[in-house]
C-alpha cells in the first residue's frame, strides 16, 4: 500500500516537472521575441537577361531586406558575386546608403525601424556570364536576433549567358599565293623599226630637187602645150640629149676637115 502511494507521488512530480519545463521554454521564447531584432534578407528568384548586350535588364538584380523584430536596429547588408556575376554600377536602395561597391561585392548600411512590415528594396546593376550564376546575401544588426535562419541566403540562377560561337569556318583556301611572279618572259623583241632617221622630212628625194627645169618652156603657152608634153613623154632629160647631139656634130665636122686636109697633103 505504501509502495503504491510512493509510486503515484513520483509520477505526479514527474508530470509536474515536465509541465514546468515546457512552460519555462515557452516563457523564454516569449521573452526573446519581446526584445531584439528579427532581420531577413532576400534575392529575386529570376533574372531578365539581354543576351545581345550581356547585361541584366531593368535596374539590375533585385533584392530586399527588413526588420520584423520589436527593436530598431542598424543593419549591414552584404551581397557577394560568388560565380559568373559582375556588378557594373552603384546599387539603388529604397532606404539606407551604399557604403561601398565593386565588381564582386556590394555593402549597404540602413537604420531599420522596429516591427517593420514593409521590406526595403535594392537593385544591383550587373552582367552575367557562363551557364550558371551564384549570389550570396547576408544581413547583420547591432541588436541580437533570436532567429538567424533568415539572415543569409545563397541563390543560384541558370541563365545561359554564353556568347554564341560561329558554327561555320571558311574551309576553302586559295590555291595560288599572292605575289607569284610570271614564269615566262617575253623573248621576242618588236621587229618593226622606223626606216627613216629622225630629222628627215617626208617629200621628194634630193635627186628630184636637183633636176633642171624643162628647156623651151614658156609661161605664155596655153594649157594644150602642157598636155602634149605630158602625152609625148617629155621629161627633164631633154637638155642632155640636145647637148650630146651637138657634140657629135662638132666631132663629125672635125673628122671631115681632117680628112680633106690629109688628102690635100697627099696631092
Q: What's the rounded mean pLDDT across residues 213-230?
A: 45
pLDDT digits over 99-120, tens only? 999 999 999 999 999 988 889 9
Percentage above 70 pLDDT, the chain: 52
Q: Is the pLDDT of residue 257 over 80?
A: no
pLDDT digits over 26-66, tens only? 444 444 456 899 999 999 999 999 988 889 999 999 999 99
Q: How far apart are CA 242 and CA 215, in angstroms?
A: 10
| pLDDT confidence tier of residue 176, bands split at 50, 70 and 90 | low
- Given the candidates 1.10.10, 2.40.420, 2.60.40, 3.40.50, the CATH classification of the domain at 40-160 is 2.60.40
pLDDT digits over 67-83, tens only? 999 999 999 999 999 99
Report the candidate in 80, 81, 82, 100 with the shortest Cα–Cα distance to residue 90: 100
Q: For position 252, what pLDDT does the model report? A: 76
| pLDDT confidence tier of residue 246, bands split at 50, 70 and 90 | low
Q: How far apart are CA 209 and CA 215, in angstroms?
A: 16
Concatenated DSSP letters for 145-175? -S--TTSEEEEEE----PPPPPS-------S
Q: How far apart are CA 119 and CA 110, in angstroms?
A: 12
Domain boundaries, the chain: 40-160
In angstroms, what is the C-alpha Rg of the chain?
Answer: 67
Amino acid at each position: 500500500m505504501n509502495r503504491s502511494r510512493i509510486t503515484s507521488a513520483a509520477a505526479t512530480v514527474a508530470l509536474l516537472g515536465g509541465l514546468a519545463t515546457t512552460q519555462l521554454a515557452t516563457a523564454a521564447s516569449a521573452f526573446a521575441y519581446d526584445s531584439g531584432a528579427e532581420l531577413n534578407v532576400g534575392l529575386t528568384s529570376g533574372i531578365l537577361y539581354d543576351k545581345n548586350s550581356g547585361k541584366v535588364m531593368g535596374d539590375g538584380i533585385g533584392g530586399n531586406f527588413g526588420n520584423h523584430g520589436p527593436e530598431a536596429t542598424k543593419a549591414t547588408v552584404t551581397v557577394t558575386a560568388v560565380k559568373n556575376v559582375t556588378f557594373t554600377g552603384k546599387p539603388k536602395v529604397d532606404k539606407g546608403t551604399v557604403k561601398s561597391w565593386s565588381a564582386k561585392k556590394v555593402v549597404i548600411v540602413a537604420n531599420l525601424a522596429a516591427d517593420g512590415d514593409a521590406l526595403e528594396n535594392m537593385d544591383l546593376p550587373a552582367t552575367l556570364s557562363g551557364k550558371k550564376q551564384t549570389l550570396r546575401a547576408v544581413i547583420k544588426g547591432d541588436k541580437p536576433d533570436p532567429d538567424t535562419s533568415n539572415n543569409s541566403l545563397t541563390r543560384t540562377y541558370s541563365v545561359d549567358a554564353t556568347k554564341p560561337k560561329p558554327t561555320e569556318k571558311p574551309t576553302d583556301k586559295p590555291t595560288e599565293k599572292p605575289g607569284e611572279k610570271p614564269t615566262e618572259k617575253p623573248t621576242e623583241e618588236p621587229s618593226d623599226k622606223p626606216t627613216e632617221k629622225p630629222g628627215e622630212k617626208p617629200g621628194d628625194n634630193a635627186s628630184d630637187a636637183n633636176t633642171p627645169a624643162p628647156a623651151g618652156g614658156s609661161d605664155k603657152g596655153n594649157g594644150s602645150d602642157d598636155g602634149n608634153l605630158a602625152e609625148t613623154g617629155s621629161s627633164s632629160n631633154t637638155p642632155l640629149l640636145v647637148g650630146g647631139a651637138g657634140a657629135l656634130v662638132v666631132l663629125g665636122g672635125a673628122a671631115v676637115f681632117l680628112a680633106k686636109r690629109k688628102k690635100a697633103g697627099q696631092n
